[in-house]
Amino acid sequence: MKVTETSLSGCLILEPEVHQDTRGFFMESFNSKSFFELTGVHANFVQDNHSQSEKGVLRGLHYQKSSPQGKLVRVSRGSVFDVAVDIRFESPTFGSWVGMELSEQNKLQLWIPEGFAHGFVVTSEIADFQYKCTNYYFPEDEASIHYLDPDINILWPDLDKVLVSSKDSHAKSFRNLLPQ
């Protein structure tokens, strides 16, 4: 597995070793020992999630306030534009974002540490999005930042139509995160 640092401290791109022949391919999508050796991150994953969405569905920017989740994300079918936003107050990249295509073709994974908001938009006709979490989902602890927040200014792909949940369309601004 190849690991590449992003512009956000701790947020990493993982490129698995893919063995492909005429029958198809094989890849190890996660190995705890290798993950630690390559990243230095001792992640204790407690929950796996899988979502399926149609083209233009945008989910995010989600985070948990007092029980943050680290996430190892990937796409097993289709493609998405995936975004991580640093919301760690003490971080020099606080308020910065990184975005990249995750797809069944490139098989890349993104490690998003605790202390980040996360979201994605589906760019293929359909996408299966899978992720491992370091903490359980607590609905009462969940919060969202509006995906079009001008202070973050994410450059989302140009899509004809974007489908967003009511919760995400009414998400708060990034400025609401700042201590008052």
Q: How many CB atoms are closer than 10 A to CB 127? A: 24
Is residue 51 within 8 Å of residue 43, measured between CB atoms? Answer: no
Residue 56: the pLDDT is: 97
pLDDT of residue 179: 67
What is the model's pLDDT at position 24?
87
118 is catalytic: no
Q: pLDDT tens per residue, the chain (180 residues)?
A: 999 999 999 999 999 999 989 998 898 899 999 999 999 999 999 999 999 999 999 999 999 999 999 999 999 999 999 999 999 999 999 999 999 999 999 999 999 999 999 999 999 999 999 999 999 999 999 999 999 999 999 999 998 899 999 999 999 999 988 765
Give the separation between CA 56 and CA 80, rounded to whole angstroms.
Answer: 9
Burial of 69 (0-12, 13-18, 19+ CB in 10 A): buried
| Residue of 63, 131, 146, 147 marked catalytic | 131
Q: What pLDDT shows up at residue 28? A: 87
Q: Which of 88, 158, 165 has its CA nearest to residue 119? A: 165
Which residue, chain included where needed, has tokens 């792909």?
157
Q: What is the pLDDT of residue 160?
A: 85
Q: 131 catalytic, yes or no?
A: yes
Find out whether 48 and 135 touch, Cβ atoms under 8 Å: no
What lies within 8 Å, CB to CB, of 27 at 6+ separation is 16, 17, 18, 19, 107
- Say which of 19, 42, 50, 62 is annotated catalytic: 62
